[in-house]
Chain A
Amino acid sequence: MTTTRRIISLLAAGLAATLALSACGGSGDEGGPDAEGRTSIDMWVFAELHGTYYEAMAKQWNEKNPDKEIKLDVTVFPYDEMHNKLQLAVNAGKGLPDVVDIEVNKFSNFVAADGRTPLADLSEAAEPYQDDIVQARMDLYTREGKLLGYPTHVGAQVAFYNVPLLEKAGVDYKTIKTWDDFKAAGAKYNKATGKAFGVASTDTNITQPLIMAQLGGNLFDEDGNPTVNSPEIVEATELQQEMQKAGAISTIPGGSPDIEEAYGPINDGEYAAIVYPAWYTSRFVDYMPDLAGDIAIAPAPVIEGGEVATIGGGGTGTSVIESSPDKDFAMEWLAFAKLSPEANVAVWEELGFDPVNMSVWEDEEVTHNPENKYNKYFQTNLFDVLNEVKGDIGHFESFADPNLPKVDEVFTGSTYNQIFGDGVPAKKALDQAQADLENQLK
C-alpha cells in the first residue's frame, strides 16, 4: 500500500502545484503620489529593449512634468512567463501591475468573447494624438469600441533583399513587384546558385497573413467562427506552397527568420530575400553585422489587383489594468510614452521600429539622419519605402479576433509544419486545422 500512497502523494503534489499557481500578493500600493509627489507605476514587459525605452520615456516625462513625476518600476520577464503570469494574476484578481506590454498574438486572451476584460479603455487619453496615428494599428487593439492597448510600431511588411547576391545571379530586385515576380526571381536565383531565396516560415504566422490579407481573406467569419479553410486562405497558402516547389522559398533552421538559429544562415548569405515587418531592421543591425551595406529595403510583393499592398505584422499593445489605483495617471503617461511625436522619434532611433505616429515619417531630419545606425546599414531608406505604401497599409481583421491565439497556435504548431515541412497539400492541412479549431472553440 505504501507504494500506492506514494504515487497518490506524488500526484497530489502535481495537481496541487498546478492549481495553487497564484500570483504573489500586491505591493500594497494604494495609489496617488507619494510624499515627494511621485506616483509609483508597476510595469511588466517581455523585452529588455522595451524596458530601457520606457525608462527613457519616464525620464522625459519627468522633465516636462515636474509637478506630477512618475516613479516607474519596470520588470522584464521572458515572453511566455510574462503572459502566463499576467493571465493567472487576472484570474486571481491579485498581484497585477499597473501597466503591461501584451504581444499581439496573446492580446485576445485578455478580452473575453463577450467583451469582458480586465484592461482599461484608453481612447480618451489617446485623443490629443489620434489624428497622426496609423488607424489600422489602433484597430488591432480595439474591441467593441474600446481601445485597450497602444501600439508600439506599424510593423508594415516590407522586403529585404541581399543585393550583391541577387546581382551575381542576375536578378534585379527592383523588378519584383508581385508575388509572381517574386516566384520567378526566386526560381531563377535558386537555379543559378543552388541556394535558398526566400523563407517559408513554419513557426511564425506573419508573412502568410500578408498574402491572405492581400487576397481579401479572413481567418474568421462575421460571427467569429474560424474559416481557416475558406477559398482565399487556401489560395494564399497554396500560392506559397507553389513558391516553395519552384524553389523561391525554403524552410529555415529555427522555423522563422526571427530566431537565433536563423540569423546565422541569413548572415552567411544562405537566404537572399526576407519578407517581414519593418522592425526586422533591428535584427539585421544587431545580429547580422556582416551584411551591412548589402541589404536593400523594398515594398513587399503584392497580388495583382489585390485588396491591400501590405499589412502590419507582429506588435505589442501596451495596456493599463482597469483595477489599478493609479489608472488615470498611468493612461496619461502611457499616451505620452507611446503616441507623442517625441516618443515616436525614440521608437525609431532606439528600437529601429517604424513608428505609429505618421508625423515622424515625414520629418526628413529624423528619417534621413545620416548618423542613424539603421540608415547607415541599409542601401535604401526605410521611410522612403513606407511612404510609398503609406496609403495602402491594411488592417487584417483576423489579427483582432478574440480567437486569434488559438488559430496562431494551430498554424504554427501543426499546419505550417505539415505544409512546408512535410509537403502535405495546403487544402488538406487547413481542413484539419479547421476541424481542430471548431472543436476547440465549441
Chain B
Amino acid sequence: MAVLRRLLYSQKAAPYLFIAPFVITLLAFWLVPLARTFMLSTQEVVFGQAAFIGLDNYQRLWEDRLFWKAMFNSARYMVLTIALLIPIPLVLAAAINSKIGSERVKAVFKASMFVPALTSVVVAGVIFRLMFAESGTGLMNQIVGVFGLDPVRWLRIDTGGLIALLALAMWRWTGVNILYFLAGMQAIPEEYYEAATIDGAGKVQQFFHITLPNLKPTIVYVTTISIYGGLAMFLESFMLYRGNASPNDQGLTVIGYLYRRGIEQNDLGFASAVGVVLLVVIMTINLTFLTLSGTFKKESAR
C-alpha cells in the first residue's frame, strides 16, 4: 500500500503510471505487430515455417499487375468518395444548421441520415447487391427501365460496380459526415454572423467567408479519415461481390488483395509486403496533406 501511495504521489513516476495502459496497448497492438509485419514481409512462410528471402516479395509486388490494379481501384474509390462525401454533407449540414424549415422535420432528417451508419456493412452489402442485380427485376434496373433503357449488368461492368460502391458509401457515410460538420458549425460563434449581417453580407457570402474558414479543422479531420477509409476499404466490396473475386477484379481493393494473397493463397509474406506498402502510401498522403493544410503549425503561427 505504502509503495503504491508513494508512487501515486510522486511527481515523476505518477504520470508514467497513468499513461502506462495506453503505452502498453500501443506496444502490444501496434508496434509489435508492425515490426512482425516488416519481418514477415521479408520471409516466405509455408505451413508455419518461415525462410528469409530478402526483398523478393517487394520485387514481385512491384511487377504485379493485379497489385497495381488494386491500388488503382482503391485510389479511385478514395478520390471519388472524398469528392462526394465532403461537399454534399457540407451543404446538407448548412441547410440543417440554418434557421429555415421546421426544427422537427430537420431532427427527423438528421436522425434518418444517421441510421445507415448503425447498420452492418454485411447487411447493407447484401441489400445493395440485390438492388444492383443484373436481372430486369432488380431495383436499379427497374429504375433505368422507367427511362426506357435496357437492363444494365451492374456488377459485371466496371462503371456499374463503381456506381454501386459509391452509392453504398454515400448511403452509409453522408449522415456521419453531416454530424461532423454540424458539430463544427455549431461551435462557430453567432456574433460573426450578426456582424456580417450588419455589414450587409448575404447568406452565400456568410457561408463562404465565415462558415467554411471556421470549419477548416473539421474538414481537415474528415478528409484525413476519408483518405484512410477510402484506401483501406474492403468489406463493402467483399459483400457487394459476395466474396473477394469480382469480374476482371473490378472490385479488388488493396486490402482485398492482401486478404487474397495472405489468407486465401497462403502467402503471408507477400501479403505483409502489401500491408507495408499500403501503410507507407497512406502515411505519405496523410502527412503531406496535414502539413499542407497547416495542422502541424503551432497555434500562434496559424
Contact = CB atoms under 8 A, between A and B. Distances in A.
A91 B60 contact: no
B266 interface: yes
B292 to A, nearest CB: 14
A144 to B, nearest CB: 15
A412 B47 CA distance: 26
B36 interface: yes
Given A19-B37, A88-B263, A11 B282 contact: yes
B44 to A, nearest CB: 10
A417 B287 CA distance: 39
Interface in B25-69: 26, 29-30, 33-34, 36-37, 40, 45-49, 60, 63-66
B206 interface: no
A324 B264 CA distance: 23
A292 interface: no
A13 B30 CA distance: 7
Interface in B173-187: none
A322 B243 CA distance: 30
Interface in A377-413: 405-406, 409, 412-413
A8 interface: yes
Given A12-B29, A87-B263, A439-B65, A413 B47 contact: no
B135 A253 contact: yes
A409 B33 CA distance: 29
Given A13-B29, A253-B135, A409-B245, A7 B224 contact: yes
Interface stretch (B5-13, B207-215, B246-254): B246-254
A15 B287 contact: no
Contact of A80 (B243, B258, B296): B243
- Give the size range of B's interface with the partner: 35 or more
A88 B45 CA distance: 11
B295 interface: yes
Contact of A92 (B36, B48, B65, B266): B48
Contact of A435 (B49, B65, B262): B65
Interface string B254-273: 01001010111110100110
Question: Majority SS of interface residues in chain A?
Answer: helix
Interface string A400-436: 0000011001001110011001100000000000011
B102 to A, nearest CB: 35
Interface string A265-306: 000000000000000000000000000000000000000000
A109 interface: yes
B244 to A, nearest CB: 8
Contacts of B65: 435-436, 439
Interface in A11-28: 11-16, 18-21
A289 B221 CA distance: 57
B266 A1 contact: no
B142 interface: no
A91 B47 contact: yes
B279 interface: yes
Contacts of B275: 15, 18
Nearest to B286: A7
B118 to A, nearest CB: 19
A15 B30 CA distance: 8
Given A15-B33, A16-B33, A18-B275, A109 B266 contact: yes
Nearest to A84: B263
Contact of B247 (A90, A91, A421): A421
Given A15-B279, A91-B268, A116-B47, A7 B228 contact: yes
A4 B134 contact: no
A412 B266 contact: no
Contact of B245 (A8, A13, A15, A412): A412
Contacts of A90: 47-48
B225 interface: yes
A3 B37 contact: no
Given A253-B135, A406-B265, A412-B245, A11 B228 contact: yes
A93 interface: yes
B232 interface: yes
B266 A87 contact: yes
B220 interface: yes
Contacts of A8: 30
Contacts of B37: 15, 19
B156 interface: yes
A9 interface: yes
Nearest to B225: A7
Interface in A137-192: none
A103 to B, nearest CB: 12
Contact of A439 (B36, B63, B135, B260): B63
Given A11-B228, A16-B30, 10 more contacts: A7-B224, A9-B30, A19-B33, A19-B40, A91-B47, A92-B48, A112-B46, A422-B248, A436-B66, A442-B63
13 contacts: A1-B295, A1-B296, A3-B290, A10-B228, A18-B271, A19-B33, A19-B40, A87-B263, A87-B264, A88-B263, A203-B245, A261-B135, A439-B64
Interface of B: 26, 29-30, 33-34, 36-37, 40, 45-49, 60, 63-66, 133-135, 156, 220-221, 224-225, 228, 232, 243-249, 255, 258, 260, 262-266, 268, 271-272, 275, 279, 282, 286-287, 290, 295-296
Closest 4 A-B residue pairs measured CB to CB? Answer: A12-B30, A417-B247, A16-B33, A19-B33
